[in-house]
Amino acid sequence: MPIVRFLTAGESHGKALVGIVDGIPSGFFLSADDIDQDLKRRQGGYGRGGRMKIEADRGEIISGVRWGKTLGSPISLQIVNKDWDNWQQGMSGYETDALSIPSVVKPRPGHADLAGAVKYNTKDIRDILERSSARETAMRVALGAVAKKILSEFDIVIGSYVCRIGSARYNKPVPSLEKQLLALFRLAEKSPVRCPDNVATRKMVACINRAIRNNHSLGGLFVVFATGLPMGLGSHVQWDRKLDGQLAQAIMSIQAIKGVEIGSGFAMASQPGSEVMDEIYYRKSSDPEIMPFVRKTNHAGGIEGGMANGMPVTLTAAMKPIPTLRKPLASVDIVTKRPLAAAYERSDVCAVPAAAVVGEAMVALTIVNAFLEKFGGDSREEILRNYNSYRAYIRKY
């Protein structure tokens, strides 16, 4: 069983999203502001639809925190849906409100609509789409912000940037070094599409504008990285303890993500081994912050044998285009079985910048689990002791 477990609940137009993260030790500072900053980052990005103009997501801490510090008990959060005002009957839990809005019967290709309706035996696709919607990712981001806050106490930073939207690219390879990654992250934070390069940003915005004009939608690629990880998170000894496997699952679980690459991933498949293994060097330093084993390259994306190797963890994720289309594709009425055009419901045209923020959250939740598995304890102080003694051990190894 993982040390850190989390669950989300809530429908897209329901009253609220709720989430629980269990396994966070006591004594860590946590405020609603820590959560809201990331919620705001997820809501932004050029190409989002009308829903994001309605919502102004705020994370409310319901339990597990007292006077600004974690208690060690489950932390539960709530994000109220402002749009609930318009859906109180349509999404009501009471039988007396049934049939207050028409059923959705036109499944959208690329969505959970058809398989979900058949599997859960419903003739109203709203029963499915409300939960399959990526609105759920707001709560993942809130829970991820809790994980990031814990990791920040150990100088672990998790960030992201967008490197492709449709045909517009930022083509530079993912850098190997912490400093370079952090610099790209700072630049990306200023871009409307979360891309570190101005020219590429302009091309991406133009690409989205073209898609809006032509009633298309777009996907893309984004990079998520984690710096400051101590060597040895994860393990080689069992398939489900491998950090790269856990990260891939976490990222693939995000709506519309269809590919994940750790480090130089796919490119390595066509290169000779001598060019893509990261050579090992030893550098003794009087600075206790500098760990002795170093690499000049990072094709491995900071993970070897399922374990963090001390270099930044880097991964690239591929997001498919948004499936809800203004110019809808062919579908079939699930009641009459007649051919018709798929349903259109207010939708994003491109959500790659937002998905990158969700990616950060999933990476943070995965890494905080691996971190607490390695340095486990019930309180911040206990974990700090374990962490510091491990670092001292590595320096003398």
Q: What's the closest the beta carbon of residue 368 comes to ligand FMN, in angstroms?
A: 21
Q: Is 255 in the site for ligand FMN (CB under 6 A)?
A: yes
Q: Which of residues 328-367 bind ligand FMN (CB under 6 A)?
A: 347-348, 351, 354-355, 358
DSSP 128: H
Q: Considering the complex, state which of residue 268 and residue 363 has its C-beta at the smaller distance from ligand FMN.
A: 363
Q: Considering the complex, state which of residue 303 and residue 342 has its C-beta at the smaller distance from ligand FMN.
A: 342
Q: How many CB atoms lie within 10 A of CB 107?
A: 23
Q: Which of residues 4-63 bind ligand FMN (CB under 6 A)?
A: 49
Q: What's the closest the beta carbon of residue 385 comes to ligand FMN, in angstroms?
A: 39
Name every residue whose Cβ is closer than 8 Å to that of residue 10 and which is 6 or more positions away in sequence. 16, 17, 18, 79, 81, 135, 136, 139
Q: Which amino acid is at 315?
A: L
Among 134, 204, 361, 368, binds ligand FMN (CB under 6 A): 134
Q: What's the closest the beta carbon of residue 239 comes to ligand FMN, in angstroms?
A: 23
Q: Is 79 in the site for ligand FMN (CB under 6 A)?
A: no
Q: Considering the complex, state which of residue 111 and residue 149 has its C-beta at the smaller distance from ligand FMN.
A: 111
Helix/strand/coil for 317: strand
Instruction: Give the Cα separation of 146 and 152 in Å (integer).
Output: 10
Residue among 369, 362, 340 nearest 141 (CA): 362
- Give the E-state strand segments of the chain in sequence order: 5-9, 16-22, 26-29, 60-63, 65-66, 69-71, 75-80, 157-165, 168-169, 220-227, 257-262, 280-282, 293-295, 303-304, 307-308, 313-319, 330-332, 339-341
- The first and second tokens of residue 67, run together, are 């006077």
Q: Is 234 in the site for ligand FMN (CB under 6 A)?
A: no
Instruction: Kindly determine how many residues on this chain lie close enough to bind ligand FMN according to the rule CB under 6 A.
Output: 21
Q: Considering the complex, state which of residue 210 and residue 320 has its C-beta at the smaller distance from ligand FMN.
A: 320
Q: Is 132 in the site for ligand FMN (CB under 6 A)?
A: yes
Q: Which amino acid is at 43?
A: Q
Q: Is 137 in the site for ligand FMN (CB under 6 A)?
A: yes
Residues of this chain that interact with ligand FMN (CB under 6 A) are: 49, 110-112, 132-134, 137, 254-256, 320, 322-324, 347-348, 351, 354-355, 358
